Amino acid sequence: MLDTDARATYDRVVRAILALVVILSAATASAQTAFIQGGAGRDIRRFSGDAETSVFDGSAGSFTAAVGGHVLPHWILSAEFDAGQRSSQSTTTTVTINGLPRDIHTSYASDRRSLSALVGYETTARHRVQFVYAAGLSFTTFRRDISSDGEEIVLQSPAPGSRYTSRLSGAIAGVDTVIHIAPHLALVPGVRVQGLAIDPDLGAFSIRPSAAARISF
């Protein structure tokens, strides 16, 4: 959870990136070429630290949407939204209660939402293929849920579970391959890499390969 000062800082930063998105939209409106795109992929999450934090390691489907355009030859500004679906896994621990072994099941789940502003360099087209190398700033909401039947087994009362919501900001980078299949249509496979500094003692990273359809106008 965030304290009051951290939440206020995060809110100010989110307002700043929303303003940047508006600027990007205005810039792309007057750009030589603008585009919108949408696609799907995978969100592969890995946590650093001990085995207790690695229970949140996992992968899930993701949805992406973007708008952008050329503001200079070879240079692109874009705004991206990326939603990683829920991933989960469970562990089982055997304990002895009143001389009898009992299994306690614990479930760990997480999901992610990101809004990013990116600047990219686009190579010259060769055989209808271009590469875009992009980097920028991302703002992420990352949720972790933990639930267990241990309290119900020991105390005979159900436990409500716990939810931890982290609001993060940090760098993001990626590479896209733009394959032009028609005058205003392209297939765009790509990948994004983002670090997630959730707590001082808990870090993670998200690798997100995807494929999208792009319409230029």
Per-residue pLDDT, averaged over 128-145, amounts to 94
Half-sphere exposure of 179 (CA within 13 A, CB side): 8
pLDDT of residue 93: 81
List the structure tokens of 127.
């055989």
pLDDT band, very low/low/confident/very high, at 176 (cuts 50, 70, 90): very high
Name which of 147-151, 162-166, 196-200 the model is least confident about.
147-151
Per-residue pLDDT, averaged over 188-205, amounts to 88
- In three-state form (DSSP H/G/I as H, E/B as E, the rest C), the secondary structure along 174-213 is EEEEEEEEECCEEEEEEEEEEEEEEECCEEEEEEEEEEEE
pLDDT band, very low/low/confident/very high, at 148 (cuts 50, 70, 90): confident
- In three-state form (DSSP H/G/I as H, E/B as E, the rest C), the secondary structure along 62-126 is EEEEEEEEEEECCEEEEEEEEEEEEEEEEEEEEEEECCEEEEEEEEEEEEEEEEEEEEEEECCCE
pLDDT digits (tens, 9 = 90+) for 40-80: 999 999 887 665 557 788 899 999 999 998 888 899 999 99
CA 102 to chain centre: 38
pLDDT of residue 1: 47
Contact residues for 55 (Cβ-Cβ < 8 A; gap 6+): 89, 91, 108
